[in-house]
Amino acid sequence: MANGYFVSFDVVMVSLLALCLVHAWRSGGAARSWALLAGVLFGLLLEWATIQQLHAYTYGRFPLMIAGEVPVAIGIGWGVILYSAQRFSQATSLPHWLHPVLNGLLALNIDLSMDAIAIRLGFWDWGQGLDSQYFGVPYANFWAWFWVVFSFSWGLQLLADRPHWAGRWLGPLGAILVGVGGVLITNYLITFVVPRSWSSAAIALTLSAALVLVLVYRPRLHVHPVPALVFWVPFAFHLYFLVTGLLSGALLAHPFLLIVSLVMTGLVFWLHWPGLARAESDSIPNATGA
């Protein structure tokens, strides 16, 4: 019998992808839709490459799998997170070069309340039990989340944000390569180069520096209209894992995780809800939506 949590997660991810595809097609046509799908392909490839490189975790048996190792829903999840984060950062007053940094931080908002619940539902297994580091989640996972989103966002911004056809159509392919390369390099650094006794401090320092860098610029949010999906994508992740965490008892057994989940959900409302008042269209002039 299929795992109900796995099936429902597949349904949620496919629904979010449909929401993003509709917006991408209406706001940027085939080019922006291709940039969105490139994010999904990137998510699938980076998961496969990371598993081959580190052998640090394994996935449960989802209904739809690639090579028997990577759930399709996980690749979709990366794609919609990347797409919604890009739409949000482009609507702020931050300079263009800081958008990938903000995108990485926005992704961490999701993972802080998701990963510890997901492993208790059997979505994936780090092989370290449920009590090590952050409730069974290695601290290096948060490092990886930041660099995954930063690397692809930077690659897309560098290569696809061009007015000519090569940028629109070849840029997303280049962003996939840049993103996977960035992930593999940063994985290698934190795993094999940084001394294990220093890794936690290096992770905390890097992520704190990223947050301070964004805050120093005192960004104004929603300077431009944002699509409704900017709110619904992160909220859907939080809502899904809040509900399943309660149904499974995972959050009740660990009240701190419940507090984190509620705080991160509240942060989504604080950051994204005001933008829904101006969510009729995405008015940013960008051929690819990079």
Sign of CA dihedral 269, 273, 275, 276: positive
Give every CB contact of residue 158 below 8 A, 6+ residues apart in sequence. 174, 175, 178
Residue 125 bridge partners (DSSP)? 58
SS3 95: coil
pLDDT of residue 41: 97
Q: For 188-205, how does the pLDDT look when each residue is reduced to its tens digit (9 = 90+)?
A: 999 999 999 999 999 999
pLDDT-based confidence at residue 224 (cuts at 50, 70, 90)? confident
Q: For 31-87, how does the pLDDT look when each residue is reduced to its tens digit (9 = 90+)?
A: 999 999 999 999 999 999 999 888 889 999 999 999 889 999 999 999 999 999 999
Share of the chain above pLDDT 90, in %: 80
Entry field: residues in the chain: 290
Q: For 13-24, how does the pLDDT look when each residue is reduced to its tens digit (9 = 90+)?
A: 999 999 999 999
Residue 66 bridge partners (DSSP)? 70
Angle in degrees, CA 151, 19, 157, rounded to 5: 25
